[in-house]
Structure 1
Amino acid sequence: MNPRTALPDALDPVVAICRDAAAAILDVYDGSEPAAVDWKADRSPVTNADRAAHGVLSAGLRSLGPDVPVLSEEGTEAEWDAAARASVFWLVDPLDGTKEFLKRTGDFTVNVARVEAGRPVLGVVLQPVTGQIWAAVAGSHQRGAWRLDPDGGVRSLATRVPPASPLRLAASRDHAGPLVEAIDRDHPDTVTLTRAGSSLKFCRVAEGAADLYIRDGRTMEWDTAAADCIVEAAGGRVCSFAGDPLCYGRAPYANPSFVAVGDRSLNWRRFISSTSDG
């Protein structure tokens, strides 16, 4: 990472809105009363912190341009449909890692991406507990990724090329999945796991602290769009197991299995094929 004094102008208002959402989350996280929890149809939890951050983000992003719809995990189906019909929209996870929030690990984030023609061109991931922010732009006229530290420092991000030896594989704290666990078991001399929650796994790849993130479990578009932008802008790649970039704004908004890799020349397929063959 290299020092940089300022972010592109396009990122400043989005970062400010994400900070407001993080403050709303911390009001619940640091409050004297436990978070109020409900359960969705898929048995995933949603809390009053998720809803508070959703309200802040929806209002803030619409203030930047009311004609650009917001597709948020906590939004309505009508809002989802409006965003899916638009060529430009905001894709938002107000609190990515609600389970980590409830377990009080600190590994949860606010995720905001601007999507144009199916791909994220701006992304912000903010970790409320630390105040650390990862941000990127990946448009046709400007490209770059940065980390904003709590002390005010702003550093440009670059993925690690070549990768470390042994390879550092980012994995979820509790649900890495059978494929990643098999890779860890079958490649003890060439792979070491580094654990993180929510979108922080992508951020580890973007800043060079991890080389590879493999996900074959269920994820949704709002889980990945902002961090996808950050990894790509830092020099890495995010793609499906078929090698295609992830596309956003397609109902029912579920992602295929994917990888995020720091070194684009890394033969990540060897881990998937060797594990599958075994």
Structure 2
Amino acid sequence: MTEEPAPALLRQIESIALAAGRLILEVQRGGAAVQNKGDGSPVTDADLFAEELITRELQRIDSSLPIVGEEAASAGNFSGASARTFFLVDPLDGTKEFVRGSADFTVNICLVENGRPQLGVVVAPARRELFSGDGSISYKCHLSNDLSIRERSRIATAVPASALSAVASASHENAATKDFLDKLSIGKKLSVGSSLKFCLVATGEADIYPRFGTTMQWDTAAGDAVLRGAGGCTLTCDGRELEYGAKRPEKKALQNPHFVSFGGSVEALRELLRVSALEVSV
């Protein structure tokens, strides 16, 4: 079994995400309590406990860096998103999948610097998988049953010359997504939940991921960091790089515009946006 070395900070954040994954599985085994937030979306005690753990451990790494977590933001605490450098945390992405008993839920931690997802970790505890990247290199790790890292390997995107493989949301696909994909040469279409969509593009199992619905920055930042480190990109529909952070102290400012993630270059994706008749201005 091979285990390539990873940068020290990345390893620290991997350890925190893995600890949160173990906690989530423990809560799941005992039966997670489910509530509805003000916007109608579900939240469980696993979400809350995992965010508490992640926040505590990130503060031990650097107490000066703000942390913007989904559950804290839902309670009105999101001021850190205006900082130059901060952490974005989704302690349990895919809560609906988690409640249904699906394995497609993830722990997401991202370090944002100057609007870019600089370092990200995605752990899928029920799938025994971890994905991570630091902007220049990305990894996929196979995990043991105790969620320790069993094998680590570098990953890179791989876009074919002909038909593309697309991945879309398992629970949020809409007419705009179907129309976009119908205009491209799509040979295969995959469906998966949570931030795993970014990870499938990062490993070359899929080539393109369009998202024309509501997402928040904590939903996407960690997976986007993994994808960019593997050689891919994420652009808004006007051809600009998806950015992170908020200038206004309000939750709506952390909502993403519609975007497309791709396993190839920025220039190639901009051309696909033109072909699909989406407006590209840069």
TM-score where L is the length of structure 1: 0.89
In the alignment, the residues of structure 1 paired with residue 13 and residue 94 of structure 2 have an alpha-carbon distance, to the nearest angstrom, of 20
Counterpart of 1:269, as a letter, is L
1:69, distance to aligned residue in structure 2 (A): 1.1
In the superposition, relative to structure 1, how do residues 55 and 183 fare at CA in structure 2: closer, same or farther (>3 Å)?
same
Q: Is 1:110 matched with 2:107?
A: yes
In the superposition, relative to structure 1, how do residues 11 and 207 fare at CA in structure 2: closer, same or farther (>3 Å)?
same
Aligned-residue RMSD, C-alpha: 1.9
Matches within 5 A, 1:224-263: 224-250=220-246, 251=250, 252-263=253-264
Q: Secondary structure at the residue paired with 2:134?
A: strand
The answer for the alignment partner of 2:10 in structure 1 is 11
Asked if the contact 1:203/1:230 (under 8 Å) is kept, the reply is: yes
The answer for the alignment partner of 2:147 in structure 1 is none
Counterpart of 2:34, as a letter, is V
The answer for the alignment partner of 1:268 in structure 2 is 272
Asked if the contact 1:71/1:90 (under 8 Å) is kept, the reply is: yes
Asked if the contact 2:183/2:276 (under 8 Å) is kept, the reply is: no
The answer for the alignment partner of 1:195 in structure 2 is 191
In the alignment, the residues of structure 1 paired with residue 242 and residue 104 of structure 2 have an alpha-carbon distance, to the nearest angstrom, of 24
Structure 2: runs of 5 or more not aligned: 145-149
Which of 206, 210, 217 is equivalent to 2:213?
217
In the alignment, the residues of structure 2 paired with residue 118 and residue 186 of structure 1 have an alpha-carbon distance, to the nearest angstrom, of 31
1:192, distance to aligned residue in structure 2 (A): 2.2
In the alignment, the residues of structure 2 paired with residue 271 and residue 108 of structure 1 have an alpha-carbon distance, to the nearest angstrom, of 33
Q: Secondary structure at the residue paired with 2:244?
A: coil
Asked if the contact 1:240/1:257 (under 8 Å) is kept, the reply is: yes
The answer for the alignment partner of 1:205 in structure 2 is 201
Which of 168, 172, 197 is equivalent to 1:171?
168
1:93, distance to aligned residue in structure 2 (A): 0.3
In the alignment, the residues of structure 2 paired with residue 271 and residue 44 of structure 1 have an alpha-carbon distance, to the nearest angstrom, of 35
Asked if the contact 1:220/1:253 (under 8 Å) is kept, the reply is: yes
Q: Secondary structure at the residue paired with 2:8?
A: coil
The answer for the alignment partner of 2:138 in structure 1 is 145
The answer for the alignment partner of 2:63 in structure 1 is 66
In the alignment, the residues of structure 2 paired with residue 184 and residue 115 of structure 1 have an alpha-carbon distance, to the nearest angstrom, of 30
Q: Cα deviations across residues 133-174 of structure 1 (Å, max 9, x unaligned)?
A: 110002xxxx2111111251111111013x264311101112
In the alignment, the residues of structure 1 paired with residue 105 and residue 48 of structure 2 have an alpha-carbon distance, to the nearest angstrom, of 15
Counterpart of 1:261, as a letter, is F
In the alignment, the residues of structure 1 paired with residue 81 and residue 202 of structure 2 have an alpha-carbon distance, to the nearest angstrom, of 28
In the superposition, relative to structure 1, how do residues 79 and 192 fare at CA in structure 2: closer, same or farther (>3 Å)?
same
In the alignment, the residues of structure 1 paired with residue 211 and residue 62 of structure 2 have an alpha-carbon distance, to the nearest angstrom, of 34
In the alignment, the residues of structure 1 paired with residue 12 and residue 183 of structure 2 have an alpha-carbon distance, to the nearest angstrom, of 46
In the alignment, the residues of structure 1 paired with residue 274 and residue 103 of structure 2 have an alpha-carbon distance, to the nearest angstrom, of 33
In the alignment, the residues of structure 1 paired with residue 43 and residue 114 of structure 2 have an alpha-carbon distance, to the nearest angstrom, of 30
Tell me the number of residue pairs that the alignment of Structure 1 and Structure 2 aligns. 263
Q: Is 1:24 matched with 2:28?
A: no
In the alignment, the residues of structure 2 paired with residue 179 and residue 164 of structure 1 have an alpha-carbon distance, to the nearest angstrom, of 25
More helix by percentage: 2
1:249, distance to aligned residue in structure 2 (A): 1.5
In the alignment, the residues of structure 2 paired with residue 119 and residue 190 of structure 1 have an alpha-carbon distance, to the nearest angstrom, of 29
In the alignment, the residues of structure 2 paired with residue 272 and residue 62 of structure 1 have an alpha-carbon distance, to the nearest angstrom, of 44
Counterpart of 2:28, as a letter, is Y
In the alignment, the residues of structure 1 paired with residue 216 and residue 161 of structure 2 have an alpha-carbon distance, to the nearest angstrom, of 29
Asked if the contact 2:166/2:186 (under 8 Å) is kept, the reply is: no
The answer for the alignment partner of 1:40 in structure 2 is 37
Asked if the contact 2:104/2:127 (under 8 Å) is kept, the reply is: no
The answer for the alignment partner of 1:154 in structure 2 is 152
Structure 1: runs of 5 or more not aligned: none
Asked if the contact 1:184/1:193 (under 8 Å) is kept, the reply is: no
